[in-house]
Structure 1
Amino acid sequence: MGEAEGVETVTEATAADDEPTGLEDIEPEVPERTTFLDFLRSPIIELVLGSGADSTILNAHQALIVQSPFFAEACAQFSDGAVARRIELPNDDVAACASVLEYLYKSDYFPSLSGNQTMEHDPTVPSPDNDGVALLRHARVYTLAQRFGLPVLAGLAHKKIHLTQSTAKGEIAYARFVYKETSVDDENIRKPVAAFWATRSHVLRHEAEQEFKRMCLEYPQFGFDVLSLVLDAQEKRSHRQEAQSSAGQASGRKRQRVSGI
């Protein structure tokens, strides 16, 4: 009899424990953390750059490159059991694409930023850089970042462009690439190029006059953008001079005459 009562008491207690208390939703759900190891366990994607005998294959982990909407859409076409996972990029620059992958793996690419306003030294860049080697490297990364849907990388490449030392001829090579490869609406990268040349007429005359002339003939939009900025600056100067002249005349009328008495 006592045993039955004990069993009944235990059963009632168990039932009471199973009843909802209203506190079930208080405990927050801890999101599952994706580790770098998880990225490395994902399938390998082959990026084929170029074509034929000149093609180059770069390998990358799928879970990392799908940070790019461009690559995410391409990888969505692969079946779960697909062995060969290839993305063809026949017209893209190998070095620039490698820099994009480097960024996806470590959030920066060589030459990395060291501090907010300096970059590490790149021994492969000639000095003086008359061909714009360094500027063009970052410009190619910028255009790829735009196409791959990576705005943070595009901003990083743009910052590195402004931190890069070059020459007048190197700047013309960079300007030619920008006006050839970027959209007309991309003022973020085009306007600084035009502003550079609009404010450096002394450089044009002494260091790169012929290159600048060829650039204007090849890309009339470049010449128009530069001329527009020059005329805007001249108009502002004229307005300031007129304002100063008017202020001088007004103040002159208010001066008291010196009496000879």
Structure 2
Amino acid sequence: MTSAIITLCVGPDQRLFAAHEDVLCHSPFFQAACRGQFFESTSKRIDLPDEEPEIFSSVLEYLYKGDYYPRLEFDKRRNQWQLEDGDAGARAAAESTVHHNAVGGMVLKDTVIYCTAEKYALPELKRLALRKQGLQSGVQCSTILSSARYAYAHTPDSDSKLRAHYLALIVRSRATFKRSGTMQMEMELGGRLFFDLFVAMSNHIDDVANAKSPR
């Protein structure tokens, strides 16, 4: 903790954060910035106007502590992973989403963190965010769909893990989505998400048919 202090100016409102250079440089993205690619060496400041302060705060927490709130905990009694304060369902649900300025609405926080980790080349943070995402429940259809669109827009085609999570989630919850007017509007917009969803649903139907066919 003896390295230089870097000021980070985040979001359209220019919220200020401070972090040690050595900590930031765990990310190749910030390592390049601190070496002068687009870094103002005289002021030791990095501008991140497109980031959401709440998301960047979680990324910074991860860089210092190896996790971000709510932390991941292993319940030995149940032999399963859970989020801290896991019994506080309403509170957890409220804190699982974030208003994203670029989207103009709510998206799942873990999805945005996953995509930010992709940008900053932090693979362990991606794995952590994906595992936490899988523990979320009670999310509205509209939020799932906006988050799925965000995931498709901010991950490369070569990275299928987060996309596959959403496809599986929609297939499992197809009865709810079938009744959703939001789903109909989203499908009319089209895009890669719904082609992949069509393939996933077709594969699911084939798997069900094969399971029921006589041996």
TM-score by length of 2: 0.80
The answer for the alignment partner of 1:93 in structure 2 is 52
The answer on 1:225 being equivalent to 2:196 is yes
Identity of aligned residues (%): 25
Higher radius of gyration, 1 or 2: 1
The answer on 1:213 being equivalent to 2:189 is no
Counterpart-to-counterpart distance in 2, 1:76 and 1:215:
43
Q: How does 1:1-261 map to 2 (within 5 A)?
A: 40-51=1-12, 54-77=13-36, 82-115=41-74, 117-121=81-85, 129=93, 133=97, 136-169=108-141, 170-206=143-179, 209-242=180-213, 244=214, 247=215
Instruction: Tell me which of the two structures has the higher relative contact order, counting C-alpha pairs closer than 8 angstroms and 6 or more residues apart.
Output: 2
Q: Which has the larger helix fraction?
A: 1
Deviations 1:71-91 (A, max 9, x none): 11111119xxx5510111110
Go from structure 1 to structure 2 and tell me whether the alpha carbon gap of 1:179 and 1:126 turns closer, same or farther (over 3 Å shift).
Answer: farther
Moved >3 Å (runs of 4+) = 122-132, 236-242
Counterpart-to-counterpart distance in 1, 2:92 and 2:111:
19
Counterpart-to-counterpart distance in 1, 2:187 and 2:96:
18
Amino acid of the residue matched to residue 197 of structure 2? V
Deviations 1:227-261 (A, max 9, x none): 1112112223434445x1xx5xxxxxxxxxxxxxx
Note the C-alpha offset of 1:184: 3.1
> What is the DSSP-based 3-state SS (H/G/I as helix, E as strand, rest coil) of the residue aligned with 1:213?
helix
Amino acid of the residue matched to residue 27 of structure 2? S
Amino acid of the residue matched to residue 112 of structure 2? R
> What is the DSSP-based 3-state SS (H/G/I as helix, E as strand, rest coil) of the residue aligned with 1:47?
strand
TM-score by length of 1: 0.67
Count of residue pairs the alignment pairs up: 198
Note the C-alpha offset of 1:171: 2.1
The answer for the alignment partner of 2:101 in structure 1 is none
> What is the DSSP-based 3-state SS (H/G/I as helix, E as strand, rest coil) of the residue aligned with 1:46?
strand
Go from structure 1 to structure 2 and tell me whether the alpha carbon gap of 1:205 and 1:60 turns closer, same or farther (over 3 Å shift).
Answer: same
Which runs of 5 or more residues in structure 1 are unaligned?
1-39, 248-261
- The root-mean-square deviation of aligned C-alpha atoms, in Å, is 2.8
> What is the DSSP-based 3-state SS (H/G/I as helix, E as strand, rest coil) of the residue aligned with 2:188?
helix
